[in-house]
Amino acid sequence: MSKDACGEDRLGHHNKSGFDMDAVWRHVIVLSNFTDRLAGTENIEKASNYIVNYLEKIGGVRAWIDRFYFLTSYPEYSYFEILEPESKIVNSFPNLFSENTPPEGVTGDLIYVGSGDEESYRGIDAAGKLVLAELSYSPPRTEKARIASINNAKALIIMNWGRRESRTVGRGAIKGVWGPPTPEDMERIPRIISLNISRYDGEYIRRLLSHRRVKARIKVKVENKWVCSSQPMCRIYSACSQPMDELIIVGGHLEAWGGTVTDNSAGNAVMLEMVKVLAENRSKILRSLVFGFWDGHEIGEAAGSAWFVDNYWVELNEGGVAYVNVDACGLAGASRFVSYSSPETWAFLEEVEKEVIGKPSEKRLPLKFGDNSFLGIGIPYIFTFATFTEEELKKSGEAVFGWWYHSEEDTIDKLDREMLGIQAKLYLEYVLRLACEAVVPFDFTQFTRLVKTDIAQIREAFSKEWTEPYLSRIEARVNELEILIYEVNKIARECKNSRENTLTKSVNKLLLTLSRILIPAFRSTVDKYSHDVYGNIFLAKPLPRVYKILASLTKTSREDWTWHALKVSLTRQFNMLIDALINASFICRTFLNRI
């Protein structure tokens, strides 16, 4: 058996012992009794109490409930009636943070805008119209609302995903700004009337629209207010003789819509048993762990995890190694593992995945969803889940989290016990290795490779006049950094089994600092103390913070004075990227010179 850095028996790969799937299942049954456990409700309080009571009984675990205020929204009613060419009342549910209508409602002509991204509005006059968009993550609901509102649409109607005959009405919110809002954020919440309808009714309207003008009336009422959270947390301290001053964060949202089984009672249940296994092995883990059962998930837009980052900022900045997101576990019928994770973690994840699931997951860049409040501060993000084949997704209107997502249909029959077990093992193994390996197992050469790909894509897409000499400077700096990282990696490999020497500690400090410098600059578009908006589409683009401005430049006339202002912003954002690379190289060089 392999030895860990404490010289004790390491926890076995695949974790053959310890993970109690019967207990996981029991937690799911209990937690899914607390349906629609939305912020500020009795049900979330009951679920929180269940979680904290369970955690408090585990030896070596400190559990508590974080209480803080955040902005959320509650549904009062919605009404949707087709007036022409025929009369029909359509089942609906308000999108939370919708604008309220006058009591008599608003009327207008309907138009269909497909995914509802910026392209969908090209050549269409949406002003004063009721726009119908499909639900998908491209772009997410909040971006559809923002884009509809800047196109002056009167209302946004979101047709659920799922099969064409599905009458399930989804639920969601359009707040967009991430976390508890600042006064500036309050101004950026999309102002538009919005509701949800089923895919069945959406397809019916599309059929009507194919040959007639369709007129409808909409009424929506929601109530927005600041509520106090109920956010269970726990901490497991290493009981190893020489613990490291570092921290791994594991989180999953507790606030949940509808039946809650797969989203996210299953994830919460997996986390509870992970805590148990980790606490039982406190003498073998080298780093502390914090588990967060986030409140304010989809309505407050990751209010719980954002509050956690804002309020534990200094400690996270100093010692945060990684954030592992536990969500969408055990979806029945799922077969494809997809991972939205920071590139520097990919090689590490693949090693674990090959052992647990037999092959690597499909890797994607981390985006602004799934409680990823960690991009600004610069802590690597890990979120792997199993979804459906491309063919199945096409049939279900891209229902990546299942057609039952955010509805009362999210019941126990949607949970596959075997898949849940595999995902639970995968999360546990990720976290065990992160907690037990002496050297933080991240490789920044994957990061630099992606920056080089980004440079090539920007060159392809935009005029040299706007991108040079900056891109060449970034390229030179990234090549320089890559060489230094190769040298750092050699030393990291040598330190793999030697926790006791100060060199290992220096390697880890260096890797954590690289995360803090590179992630906010290259994978976020805001400063390191702030949060990008939910689903920010630019995070999927090359060099997001400059792409965002380049995209605006292409749409702005040179005669327009904002064209020059955009050029000023562009220069500053390029400077930020170059500066980040210079700083990263500087700390690598200093480290290499010292040893």
Interface residue list for Zn ion (CB under 5 A): 263-264, 327
- Strand, coil or helix: what is 43? helix
Comparing CB distances to Zn ion, the nearer of 52 and 400 is 400
How far out from the chain centre does Cα 570 lie? Answer: 27
Comparing CB distances to Zn ion, the nearer of 264 and 341 is 264
Backbone Cα Rg of the chain: 24
Comparing CB distances to Zn ion, the nearer of 261 and 507 is 261
Comparing CB distances to Zn ion, the nearer of 108 and 172 is 172
What DSSP element (H or E) covers 399?
none
Interior angle at CA 353, CA 350 and CA 359, nearest 5? 90
Taking the complex as a whole, how short is the minimal distance between the CB of residue 337 and Zn ion, in angstroms?
A: 17
Taking the complex as a whole, how short is the minimal distance between the CB of residue 584 and Zn ion, in angstroms?
A: 33
> Which of 273, 392, 203, 340 minimizes the C-alpha distance to 19?
273
Please list the alpha-helical segments (H only) found in 437-468: 445-461, 464-467
CB 97 within 8 A of CB 70: no
Q: CA 454 to CA 29: how far, in whole Å?
A: 45
Taking the complex as a whole, how short is the minimal distance between the CB of residue 427 and Zn ion, in angstroms?
A: 14
Q: CA 399 to CA 423: how far, in whole Å?
A: 19
Comparing CB distances to Zn ion, the nearer of 246 and 410 is 410
Taking the complex as a whole, how short is the minimal distance between the CB of residue 371 and Zn ion, in angstroms?
A: 8
Taking the complex as a whole, how short is the minimal distance between the CB of residue 336 and Zn ion, in angstroms?
A: 18
Q: CA 285 to CA 364: how far, in whole Å?
A: 29
Comparing CB distances to Zn ion, the nearer of 112 and 294 is 294
Q: In the structure encoding, which two tokens stand for residue 216, read together?
A: 């409808």
- Determine the residue type at 58: I
Q: In the structure encoding, which two tokens stand for residue 571, read together?
A: 């220069």
Taking the complex as a whole, how short is the minimal distance between the CB of residue 328 and Zn ion, in angstroms?
A: 6
Q: CA 343 to CA 210: how far, in whole Å?
A: 44
Q: CA 165 to CA 168: how far, in whole Å?
A: 9
Taking the complex as a whole, how short is the minimal distance between the CB of residue 253 and Zn ion, in angstroms?
A: 6
Q: What DSSP assignment string belongs to 240-281?
A: SSS--S-EEEEEEE----TT-IIIIIHHHHHHHHHHHHHHHT
Taking the complex as a whole, how short is the minimal distance between the CB of residue 158 and Zn ion, in angstroms?
A: 17
Taking the complex as a whole, how short is the minimal distance between the CB of residue 256 and Zn ion, in angstroms?
A: 7
- The values of phi and psi at residue 245, to 5°, are -85, 55
How far out from the chain centre does Cα 225 lie? Answer: 24
Count of CA atoms in the C-beta half-sphere (13 A) of 263: 26
Taking the complex as a whole, how short is the minimal distance between the CB of residue 177 and Zn ion, in angstroms?
A: 19
Comparing CB distances to Zn ion, the nearer of 95 and 264 is 264
Comparing CB distances to Zn ion, the nearer of 149 and 264 is 264
Comparing CB distances to Zn ion, the nearer of 189 and 254 is 254
Comparing CB distances to Zn ion, the nearer of 142 and 525 is 142
- Cross-strand partners of 247: 288, 320
